């Protein structure tokens, strides 16, 4: 699921804005605004948590990483190779963050028991085995 959700979230948040903003002094920024990137970052933990809580860490970490890397790798106007640098940065960042989120969530998601709960133990009985 994260391998499908990640590129869809990228397309929804960042895919529609592909132009740079040129300021009066000649400098250019973009193509993304900070709020778009923050929106993407806030969207992705839900599918990672969903997969990791079901102990599908192998799908959560590489799935999200591969989905974001594929979606973000824009080769359309790259003459200098910076597209590959950007894709590498996205790969490293998403791999690190999804691995950290999964590492925190997977041990906490134990089926049938709340996190930190201990099984009650019966006190030792002093009565003989057949006398109960």
Burial of residue 34 (number of CB atoms within 10 Å: 0-12, 13-18, 19+):
exposed
**Cα–chain center distance at 49:** 8
Q: According to the model, what pLDDT value does residue 96 have?
A: 92
Give 26-68 pLDDT, tens digit per residue.
888 777 888 888 988 888 888 888 888 787 877 888 989 998 8
Q: How many domains does the chain have?
A: 1
Residue keyed to tokens 């640098």: 85
Range of the domain at 23: 2-74+84-111
Q: According to the model, what pLDDT value does residue 103 have?
A: 83
Domain contains 127: no
Domain contains 23: yes
Domain contains 130: no
Domain contains 19: yes
């Amino acid at each position: 699921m994260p391998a499908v959700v990640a590129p869809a979230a990228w397309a929804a948040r960042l895919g529609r804005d592909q132009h740079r903003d040129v300021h009066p002094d000649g400098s250019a920024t973009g193509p993304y605004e900070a709020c778009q990137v923050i929106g993407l970052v806030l969207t992705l933990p839900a599918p990672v948590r969903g997969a990791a809580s079901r102990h599908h860490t192998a799908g959560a970490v590489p799935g999200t990483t591969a989905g974001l890397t594929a979606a973000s790798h824009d080769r359309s106007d790259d003459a200098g190779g910076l597209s590959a640098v950007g894709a590498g940065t996205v790969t490293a960042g998403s791999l690190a963050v999804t691995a950290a989120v999964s590492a925190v969530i997977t041990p906490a998601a134990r089926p049938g028991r709340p996190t930190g709960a201990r099984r009650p133990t019966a006190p030792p009985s002093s009565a003989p085995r057949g006398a109960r």
